[in-house]
């Protein structure tokens, strides 16, 4: 299983762009990269998933370099409500029924006014 | 409907009690998961059900007994728990083979006295 490494915490101000980088040096060919957001006492919420290059949705962008050994979650113009823990997960997905995913330590993002 | 519901929201039990946690989803997902999350820690995978069959048991003690009565329901039966089992128990579901895109419930906050 590919282990992930993320910064433990990050601080930002409202309106700024935030980039959270995750390292996953041992990512396997079949692995996808997925990011989740979690608020206190709530279940994690899926944000975005990608395999390579760039993925964008209404919430965030995910940048994955060609070697796939890292990925960067980009949150444009953050607000106070984006204060949460962000988890980077790497695991087999399409074509697998095992569902073996592991959450790393996550990054606590704090947005200040 | 993209909601996973969990009952109860909170549960206090003694070490000799027997209780059950319930999880329900109506998204047609055929993979369902139980996670355990301690304070300030990431969720830890406990069990995975795929097509109503247990596919992963992450060496969880036998005092935790999962059950999947049908494709929409997932139970976690608790018996003779220890105080260190106090945690937030999260249920999630996904399309089978799409483990990265899991939908989580709000969790059950369990306190074992």
Q: What does the DSSP 8-state code read for residue B57? A: E
Lowest mean pLDDT among A7-21, A59-73, A85-99, B6-20: A85-99
- On average, the pLDDT of chain A sits at 89
- What is the token pair recorded at B108? 């059950």
CB-defined contacts A:B, below 8 A: 79
Q: How far apart are CA A57 and CA A26, in angstroms?
A: 26
Omega before A62 within 30 of 0, i.e. cis: no
A25-77: pLDDT as tens digits: 988 888 889 999 999 889 999 999 999 889 999 999 999 999 999 999 999 99
B41-89: pLDDT as tens digits: 999 989 989 899 888 777 899 999 999 999 999 999 999 999 999 999 9
Provide the shortest C-alpha distance from residue A88 to chain B (in Å).
11
B23-40: pLDDT as tens digits: 999 999 999 999 999 999
A101 CB neighbours in chain B (<8 A) are: 45, 99-100, 102
> Cβ contact (<8 Å) for B107 and A42?
yes
> Cβ contact (<8 Å) for B45 and A102?
yes
> Cβ contact (<8 Å) for A100 and B94?
no
> What is the maximal distance between C-alpha atoms in chain B?
38
By CB neighbour count within 10 A (0-12 exposed, 13-18 middle, 19+ buried), where does A67 fall?
exposed
CB A84 within 8 A of CB A27: no
pLDDT above 70: residue A100: no
B87-100: pLDDT as tens digits: 999 999 998 766 67
CB A57 within 8 A of CB A48: yes
> Cβ contact (<8 Å) for A105 and B55?
no
Whole-angstrom CA distances from B61 to A37, B54, B65 are: 29, 15, 9
Q: Which of B48, B50, B90 sits opposite A43 (nearest CB)?
A: B90
> Cβ contact (<8 Å) for B106 and A32?
no
pLDDT above 80: residue A18: yes
């Amino acid at each position: 299983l590919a282990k992930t490494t993320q910064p433990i915490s990050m601080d930002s101000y409202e309106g700024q762009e935030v980039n959270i980088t995750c390292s996953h040096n041992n990512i396997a060919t079949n692995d996808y990269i997925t990011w989740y957001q979690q608020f206190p006492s709530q279940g994690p919420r899926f944000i975005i998933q990608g395999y390579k290059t760039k993925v964008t949705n209404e919430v965030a962008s995910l940048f994955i370099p060609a070697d796939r050994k890292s990925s960067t979650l980009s949150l444009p113009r953050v607000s106070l409500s984006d204060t949460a823990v962000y988890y980077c997960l790497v695991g087999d997905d399409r074509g697998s029924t095992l569902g073996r995913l592991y959450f790393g330590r996550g990054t606590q993002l704090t947005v200040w006014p | 409907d993209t909601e996973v519901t969990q009952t109860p929201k909170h549960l206090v039990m003694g070490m000799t009690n027997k209780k059950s946690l319930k999880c329900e989803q109506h998204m047609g997902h055929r993979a369902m998961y139980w996670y355990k999350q301690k304070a300030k820690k990431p969720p830890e995978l406990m069990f995975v059900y795929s097509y109503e069959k247990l596919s992963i048991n992450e060496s969880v003690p036998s005092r935790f007994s999962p059950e999947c009565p049908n494709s929409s329901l997932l139970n976690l039966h608790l018996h003779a728990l220890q105080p260190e089992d106090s945690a937030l128990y999260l249920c999630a579901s996904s399309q089978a083979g799409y483990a990265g895109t899991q939908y989580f419930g709000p969790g059950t906050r369990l306190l074992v006295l």
